[in-house]
Amino acid sequence: MTHVQTLSGAASAGQWTGVRHGLRRKLQRLRLSWAAGIDTASPVTVALVTTAILSAFFVLLPGVDLAVTQAFFDAERGFVAASDPALKALRKSSSWVMGLVLLGLIVVAIRGVWTRRREARKALFLISGLALASGLVVNGIFKGSWGRARPIQIEAFGGEAEFTRAWAIADQCASNCSFVSGEASSAAWIAAAAIVMTPQPWRPILIPVAFAYAAALSFNRLLFGGHFLSDIVLSWAITILVLCLLHRLMLHCPVAAREARRRRRARQGSAPAMG
C-alpha cells in the first residue's frame, strides 16, 4: 500500500510540475507578446485615438446628428427612403452576405487544421471578432445598455422620445436601441474580412468593392431613420478598435513573441564564453 501511495504521490507531483512549467511558458509568451511592437503608430493606438477624437466631436457637437438626419426627413411623409425597394433589398442582402462570409471562414478554419494553418488562424480571428465586436460589445453591451432612442422615435422626427447625444446613457429606449449601430458593426466586419482574407491578386478589386458595400449598408440606416450619424461612425470605430486588439492577441503577438525569443537566443548564442 505504501508503495502504491508513493507512486501516486510521485505522479501527482509530476503533473503539478508540468502544469507549473506550462503556466510559466504561457506567462513568458504573454509578456514577450505585449512587449513586442508597442508604439504610437500601432493599429491599436491609431484606432483608440481615432475613436476618442470621433467621440469628442459628436459629444461636443450633438447638433450634427440632428442636422444630418433632418436632411432625409420630410415633415409630411417622414423618412421617404424607408419604402424604397432597392434600399430595402440592400438591407436584406447583408444577412446573406454575412452568412456566406462566415460559412467560408468556418470552412477555411476547419481545413486549416491539416493544411494552411496561417489561413486558419486568420479565419478564427475573424470569427472571434464577429462574436466579440459585433455580438458582445456592440449588440450586447452598447445597444442593450445606453438607452438612446432612434431618430424615428424622437419628437423632432415624429416620435415621442427625447434626443440624447452620443455616449449619454439615457432611458429613452428599453432594448435594441440606437447607440451604436449593429448593422454598421457587421458591415465593418465584412470590410475587415475582405482585408484579411483576400489574396493579393484580387485585393485591388475586392477590397474597394467590399468597402463600398459596407459603407452603403451602414449609411442606409440614416435614410431609414434607424440610426444617427454618430451611431454609424462610432460603431465602425469601436468595431475596428476591438478587431485591432484581437488581431494583436491572436495574430501579431504569437509571431512577435517567437521573433523575440529567436533574437534572445541568438544573443545568448553569440555571447562570449566566460572562462
Q: How confident is the model at residue 174 (pLDDT cuts 50, 70, 90)?
A: confident
Lowest mean pLDDT among 41-50, 111-120, 193-202, 247-256: 247-256
Question: What is the percent of the chain where pLDDT is above 90?
Answer: 65
What's the confidence (pLDDT) of residue 163? 96
d(CA 228, CA 66): 8
DSSP state of 227: -
The mean pLDDT value of the chain amounts to: 84
Residue given cell 419628437 in the structure block: 155
pLDDT per position as a tens digit, 135-151: 999 999 999 889 999 99
Cβ proximity of 238 and 187 under 8 Å: no
Helix (H) or strand (E) holding 40: none
More confident residue, 31 or 235: 235
What's the confidence (pLDDT) of residue 118? 84
Number of Cβ within 10 Å of residue 94's Cβ equals: 19
126: Cα separation from own chain's centroid: 8
pLDDT per position as a tens digit, 57-77: 999 999 999 999 999 999 889
More confident residue, 17 or 84: 84
Q: How confident is the model at residue 251 (pLDDT cuts 50, 70, 90)?
A: confident
Cβ proximity of 150 and 144 under 8 Å: no
Q: Per-residue pLDDT for 89 more than 80?
A: yes
C-alpha cell at 171: 432611458
What's the confidence (pLDDT) of residue 137? 96
pTM higher than 0.95, yes or no? no
Task: Please write down the HEC assignment for all residues of 7-24.
Answer: HHHHHHHHHHHHHHHHHH
d(CA 162, CA 175): 16
3-state secondary structure of 154: strand
Q: How confident is the model at residue 5 (pLDDT cuts 50, 70, 90)?
A: very low
What's the confidence (pLDDT) of residue 32? 53
Q: Per-residue pLDDT for 132 more than 60?
A: yes
What's the confidence (pLDDT) of residue 175? 87
Cβ proximity of 218 and 181 under 8 Å: yes
Average pLDDT for 96-122? 89
What's the confidence (pLDDT) of residue 228? 97
Lowest mean pLDDT among 33-47, 137-151, 260-274: 260-274
252: Cα separation from own chain's centroid: 15
